[in-house]
Chain A
Amino acid sequence: MIQVIAFYLFATLVIASGVFTIMSRNPVHSVLWLILAFFNAAGLMVMVGAEFIAVLLVIVYVGAVAVLFLFVVMMLDIDFAELRAGFIKNFPLGIAIALVLLAELVLGMGAYRAGILELGTPDGTAAPLLGETNIESLGALMYDRYLFLFEGAGMILLVAMIGAIVLTHRDLKTTRGHQNINKQVSRRPEDATVMKQPEIGKGIEL
C-alpha cells in the first residue's frame, strides 16, 4: 500500500514540476522546477528497484542542471534584487516545499524497504541477475554481452568531441594580435616609410 501512495506522490510531482518548468516565466525558476522533476523521477526509479539509475539521474542530471543553472545566471540579465525581494513573503511556501520533499524522502525510503513495485516479470536478456545488485547486473551486460556496442558508443562520443573542436576552435594568433618582439626590433625605417614628391594640386596616391 505504501508503495502505491509513494508512487502516486512521485508521479504527480514529476508531471506537475514538468508543467511548471515550461510554464514559469523566470528561467531560474524553470531550472529549479526541472531539478525537482529529476528528483521525483529518481524517486520513481527507486520504487521499481532500479537504484543505480536513480543515483545516476541525481548525479548526472541534477549535476548537469546545476551547471546549466550557472550558465543561465551568467548569460541572462537577471535582476537578483528583485528575486530576493519576495524572500520573507515566500518564506512559508519555501518551508512547505521543503516539508513535502522531506515527506517524499521518508515515504520513498519506507516504500523501498517495504519492497519494490512489481510492474511485471522481466525475462530474456533484460532480466536482472538473481541476487545481484543493479550495478553488477548492468556491468555484466555492458562489459560482456554488449561490449562491442559499449565501445561503439565511446567512438560516438569521440566524434562528438572532435566535431565540437573542429567547428569552434580558432587559433588565437589569428583573432587577437600577439606581440612579436623579433619582428618589432628588426623593423627598419625604410620598410615603414615612403618618400613621395607629389605634384602640386594632384594629390597623392598611396
Chain B
Amino acid sequence: MELHSSLTLVLPEIVIAISALLLVLVTAYVGDKTARLVSILAATTLGTAAVMVAPALFEGAAGPDTVAFNGQFYADSFASFAKILIYLAAIACLLIAPSFFNRLSAFKPEYPVLILLATLGMSVMVSAGDLITLYIGLELNSLAAYVLASFLRNDTRSAEAGLKYFVLGALASGILLYGMSLVYGFTGTTSFEGVRAALTGEMSTGALFGVIFVLAGLAFKISAVPFHMWTPDVYEGAPTPVTTFFATAPKVAAIALTARVTLDAFGNQADAWRQIVIFAALASIVLGALGAIGQNNLKRLLAYSSINNVGFILIGLAAATVAGLGAMLTYLAIYVVMSLGSFVALLMLRDAEGVPLETFDDIAGLSTTRPAIAWCLLLLMFSLAGIPPLLGFWGKFVVFQAAVEADLVVLAAIGIAASVIGAFYYIKFVKVMFFDDAVDRVQGKSDAGHWVLLVLSAVIISPLGYLAMRWLGGLTDNAAAALFLAS
C-alpha cells in the first residue's frame, strides 16, 4: 500500500520517463525525419505533466500525505509551483528550437528527448527530500544539459561550451558530493528531515564545512557569484534555444532545490547559511551589473543579466521567512517570463540568410526597421531593469519588502543601489535600438510560434500583468507555506 501511494505521488515523473523512453525508441527506429513529431509529443507530455501536478498547487498540498518513498520525495505545492514553471519553460524551448536548427539541418529528434530527460531530472530535484534524491535529480539534469550545450557538434563554440560546462559541472558535483558526505558523516542520515533534526543547537565544524560545500555546489548550479564563471561562456557558445533553456528551467529547479535544502535540511541553522546566501546575493547583484557593462555580445549580456537576477532571487531566500520565500517564487516566475521573452526576441534577430545576429552593432536602429521586435524588447528590458509600470518592478518590490521585514535593511539598500547600476545596460539596449543610426541587418522572417511567445511575454510583463498578481501571490503563499509546514 505504501508503494502504491508513493507511485501515485510520482505519477507525473513516471509519465515523463515513459514518454522519454518511448520517444527514444521512435528516434532510434525512424530516424531524423521524426524530429518535429517527437517535439510535439514531448511538448504534449510536458503539458500533461503540468496538468497533473497543478491540483497539488491549487489545493496547497502539504504535510505527510505528500511524502513518497519514506521521505525521499515530496510532492507538495512548493514542488508543484516549481514544476509548472519548469514544464512551461521547457515547452517554450521545444517550440522555438526547430527554426533555429533547421537552417543548419541539425534538428535531430534527440533534442526533444534530451529536453524531456533534463526536465525529468529537474522534476526530481525540486521534489527531493533526501540528499541522494537531490544528487540523482541534479545529475540527470546536468548530464542532459552538457549534451545539449554541445548539440551543434560541428560548431567549435558549441563544443567548447559543452566541454567547459562539463568539466566545471563535474567539479561542482564533486564539491557537492564532498559536502553531502560530510553532512552524512556528522548527522548519520541523508534524509532532509533527519539532517534537520540532527543539526540543532551548536553545529560542529565538520558539519559546518558540509553545509558550506553543499551550498557551494548548489551556487554553481544557479550560477551565483563566486561560482558564476562558466555562465557567460556557456550561454554564448550554446545554441540559442539551448541557452534559453539554461536561463529558465534549470535555474528554477536549482533555486527551488537550494530553497528546500536551506530551509528544510539546514532549517535549524539559518544563521550559518544566511550569511553565505547574503554574500552570494550581494556579489551576484553587483558583479552581474558591472560585468554586463562592457559586453558587446547580446547572449553574454543576458548571461550577466541572469547572474544579476539570481542575486535578487537570493535576497528573498536570505530573508528565510514565509513572505521571503513567497516573494522569491513570485520573482522567479516573473524572471522566467522576462528571460524567455528576451531570448525569443534574440532568436528572431536574423539576417537575410537566416544567420543569427547577436551583437549590439546588429540591432542599431532596430526601431525603424523592425518596430514590433524593438518595442517588445523595450518592454522586456525596462522590465528587467525594474522600471515601475512593468512587472519586473513588482518582483523586485516584493523581494525587497520581504528583506526589510526580515531586518535585512542594509542588504535591501545595497541591492537597490546595484539595481540602478544594472539599469545602465538595459537602457543601453534601448538606446542602441531607438536612437542609433539604422543598419538594417535584421531581415529574416520569424514563424508564428516566436511571435506568439514574444507577444505573450510582453503582455504578461506589461502593466496588464498586475491583474494576475493577486492570484500569483496566493499561489506562491500556498507554495511557501507548504515548505515551512513540512519543516
Contact surface of A with B, Cβ cutoff 8 Å: 123-125, 145-149, 151-153, 155-156, 158-160, 162-163, 165-167
| A-B interface pairs (CB < 8 A), number | 70
CB proximity of B382 to chain A, nearest CB, Å: 39
* Residues in B whose Cβ lies below 8 Å from that of A146: 72, 132
CB proximity of A1 to chain B, nearest CB, Å: 29
Query: Would A160 and B143 count as touching, CB distance under 8 A?
Result: yes
Query: Would B69 and A148 count as touching, CB distance under 8 A?
Result: yes
Q: Is residue B140 contacting chain A, with contact meaning CB distance below 8 A? A: yes
Query: Would A148 and B133 count as touching, CB distance under 8 A?
Result: yes
Please encode chain B, from 362 to 383, with 1 for each CB lying within 8 Å of some chain A CB and 0 for all others: 0000000000000000000000
Contact stretch, chosen from B46-54, B106-114, B310-318, B320-328: B106-114
Query: Would B150 and A167 count as touching, CB distance under 8 A?
Result: yes
Query: Would B188 and A162 count as touching, CB distance under 8 A?
Result: no
Residue of A123, A152, A156, A158 most packed against chain B (CB within 10 A): A152
- Contact A166-B17, Cβ < 8 Å, known A152-B137, A156-B139: no
Q: A145 vs B146: C-alpha distance in the bound complex, in angstroms?
A: 30
The prevalent SS among residues of A at the interface is: helix
* Residues in B whose Cβ lies below 8 Å from that of A155: 17, 117, 120-121, 140
* Residues in A whose Cβ lies below 8 Å from that of B69: 145, 147-148
Q: A125 vs B71: C-alpha distance in the bound complex, in angstroms?
A: 13
Q: Is residue B15 contacting chain A, with contact meaning CB distance below 8 A? A: no
Q: A162 vs B112: C-alpha distance in the bound complex, in angstroms?
A: 12
Q: Is residue B103 contacting chain A, with contact meaning CB distance below 8 A? A: no
Query: Would B113 and A162 count as touching, CB distance under 8 A?
Result: yes
* Residues in B whose Cβ lies below 8 Å from that of A123: 188
B17, B144, B150, B189: the one within 8 Å of A124 (CB):
B189
Query: Would A166 and B189 count as touching, CB distance under 8 A?
Result: no
- Contact A166-B110, Cβ < 8 Å, known A146-B132, A148-B69, A156-B136: yes
Chain B, residue nearest A157 (CB): B143
Chain A, residue nearest B190 (CB): A125
Q: A147 vs B136: C-alpha distance in the bound complex, in angstroms?
A: 13
Query: Would A149 and B72 count as touching, CB distance under 8 A?
Result: yes
Q: A67 vs B139: C-alpha distance in the bound complex, in angstroms?
A: 26
Chain B, residue nearest A151 (CB): B17
Query: Would A148 and B110 count as touching, CB distance under 8 A?
Result: no
Q: A166 vs B24: C-alpha distance in the bound complex, in angstroms?
A: 12
* Residues in A whose Cβ lies below 8 Å from that of B130: 149
Chain B, residue nearest A160 (CB): B143
Query: Would A163 and B136 count as touching, CB distance under 8 A?
Result: no
Q: A112 vs B17: C-alpha distance in the bound complex, in angstroms?
A: 44
Q: Is residue B429 contacting chain A, with contact meaning CB distance below 8 A? A: no
B114, B121, B139: the one within 8 Å of A163 (CB):
B114
Q: Is residue B151 contacting chain A, with contact meaning CB distance below 8 A? A: yes
Please encode chain B, from 126 to 167, with 1 for each CB lying within 8 Å of some chain A CB and 0 for all others: 000010110011011001101100110100000000100000
Query: Would A152 and B147 count as touching, CB distance under 8 A?
Result: no
CB proximity of B290 to chain A, nearest CB, Å: 36
Q: A162 vs B132: C-alpha distance in the bound complex, in angstroms?
A: 23
Q: Is residue B182 contacting chain A, with contact meaning CB distance below 8 A? A: no
Q: Is residue B296 contacting chain A, with contact meaning CB distance below 8 A? A: no
Query: Would A148 and B140 count as touching, CB distance under 8 A?
Result: no
* Residues in B whose Cβ lies below 8 Å from that of A124: 188-189
Q: A125 vs B147: C-alpha distance in the bound complex, in angstroms?
A: 36
Q: Is residue B6 contacting chain A, with contact meaning CB distance below 8 A? A: yes
A148, A151, A153, A167: the one within 8 Å of B153 (CB):
A167
The 3 closest A-B pairs by CB, nearest first: A163-B147, A152-B136, A148-B69
Q: Is residue B211 contacting chain A, with contact meaning CB distance below 8 A? A: no
Q: Is residue B340 contacting chain A, with contact meaning CB distance below 8 A? A: no
* Residues in B whose Cβ lies below 8 Å from that of A159: 114, 117, 140, 143-144, 147
Q: A155-B121, A163-B144 are in contact. List 11 more A-B contacts (CB 8 A).
A: A123-B188, A145-B69, A148-B69, A148-B133, A155-B117, A158-B21, A160-B143, A162-B110, A162-B113, A166-B147, A167-B162
